A and B are shown apart, each in its own frame.
Chain A
């Protein structure tokens, strides 16, 4: 890598991660996405401290208040209230925890299992790989929402079950991404060289292949978070997701549909929250994808 014709003896070459980071911050849109992502993360942690009210408290004197910028709105209820007088802003903040926070958690768990299974199926050959692949094909063919619905139907409605359902629906996607990445690297010359040097399967994987597919896995993980958010919110919207007292964006939106004539902000605001967070994650994912491509390619 060091250039022979450079007049400087010492040349600091940025590590791959530094390079990716440099490329990443050169896309303004991706950086905005990252900021929103960080703000959401912080909000998920400190929601109880910054929320003005308890999300379940019913302000009976302030039913269906419009957002504060509306002539009838009050600043005390920044984004208005719903038909039971619950503050939408507080609900939204607590919803960051369920919708955004749990999708982060779910994605990490799904990534862990999916990547391990993907590695096993990618590195193996013959019958073992065949069997894993067909189970993968069959599960991948079941639409993720349907799978989640079935699991909720089997084990009942609760946050844990919803998370588990979305997790199981995500695992095949991780498996496929890992499998494809490993299979793409496996026949390449540098891997063959390592094999000829006598490296065994485990060494080949950890020292040769893993560093090269890590980027693809990180990108896949980012994109999976957005899928998880949409899935959790969709389940909430169909009222088979997180049960009633928990604040969740999809459920909030579904509650708002009944009030669509008199209080449309009950639909617009939770929807906007989902949209912004998904968009932010997609922007980060896209920025990472390009940065990885340009930084390493």
Chain B
């Protein structure tokens, strides 16, 4: 087993290296001076320029440049932003928690909705319940995130005035950002009205999380439905049925644990879709996260920030897919030969 895990880890390094190379190529294709784009320092003085030359080996061959580019980025040196002139790594650390918070809650909701629905649809093939779930998931999957977000704002925010439409917390509550996660920060703060602050934070959370949760929920439903049904058609299930095991035992003790494998591996592939819709959701609800920051960077043509955003997002996706792979390999011997990396 260790052989496979080490092999997968090597592949991870290789894939990340290729990702860095793609971003490196992109940096060279971008308009403007390469030294400026890679460091974020506009109009560098001669002293800064020689420093950059030193750090990124700009006078050497492209291969040296590529290696030192990786070296700088891995040590958290992402350069500075064009617009704010702040170190980008610092900015990432302030914006990332908001995105993680949003994605985490949305994924939890999606799993809580998608799993049961998928199982219900899977155990009743070709019945009304199956068709309803399938129809709902097809409809939900077809709704564009931005339309849903804007419609939610229009109805619940403006017409009914039930929920706040933008941001994470009312400005009345001065919560110092310690961890960056609002709910934890409120708990850590010495606010007088913690309960009111919590209620406000939750009100701010409802619309963005539900908007973001819709598409993952439909995906979880469909993946679960397919995977569980496939397991239920297997011969060992028939063997159990013939021995008179109750349907619930078969489903919960045998079919579901086995179906979890394909579900997990399929879900890790959907992560980039989740991040994409998270970016759009953040823009609509003015959520101060990575997505909002990145889209702003695009309007400002802030190239160092864009490249840092790609490295962080794609790196995160690759990391998660490798971790799921390793977890799957560790728990199922069957997968080991299939994931030997050469094919």
B-contacting residues of A (Cβ < 8 Å)? Answer: 29, 125-126, 129-130, 133-135, 137-146, 149-150, 152-154, 183, 226, 230, 233-234, 237-238, 240, 250, 253, 257, 260-261, 264, 267-268, 271, 274-275, 278-279, 282-283, 286
Contacts and interface: CB of A to CB of B under 8 A. Distances in A.
Given A142-B313, A143-B314, A153-B298, 5 more contacts: A133-B343, A137-B318, A143-B317, A240-B298, A275-B144
Given A143-B313, A260-B153, A237 B142 contact: no
Nearest to B139: A279
Contact of B306 (A153, A237, A286): A153
Contacts of B182: none
Shortest Cβ-Cβ A-B pairs, 10 listed: A271-B147, A279-B142, A138-B18, A278-B142, A145-B276, A138-B19, A143-B272, A141-B317, A141-B314, A143-B276
A268 B152 CA distance: 11
B146 interface: yes
A109 B141 CA distance: 24
Interface string B125-161: 0000000000100110111111100110110001000
Contacts, number: 134
Contacts of A134: 11, 14-15, 18
A135 B314 CA distance: 13
A268 B143 CA distance: 12
Nearest to B26: A150
B31 interface: yes
Contacts of B295: 149, 238
A145 B298 CA distance: 12
A137 B280 contact: no
The dominant DSSP class at the A interface is: helix
B283 interface: yes
Contacts of B299: 240
B143 A275 contact: yes
A268 B144 CA distance: 12
A146 B294 contact: yes
Given A146-B313, A234-B146, A275-B144, A125 B303 contact: no
B249 to A, nearest CB: 29
B154 to A, nearest CB: 5
Contacts of B342: 125-126, 129-130
A153 B301 contact: yes
A234 B275 contact: no
B184 interface: no
Interface string B291-304: 00011001101010
Interface in B298-324: 298-299, 301, 303, 306, 309-310, 313-315, 317-318, 321
B171 interface: no
B180 to A, nearest CB: 22
B272 A142 contact: yes
B138 A282 contact: yes
A260 B156 CA distance: 13
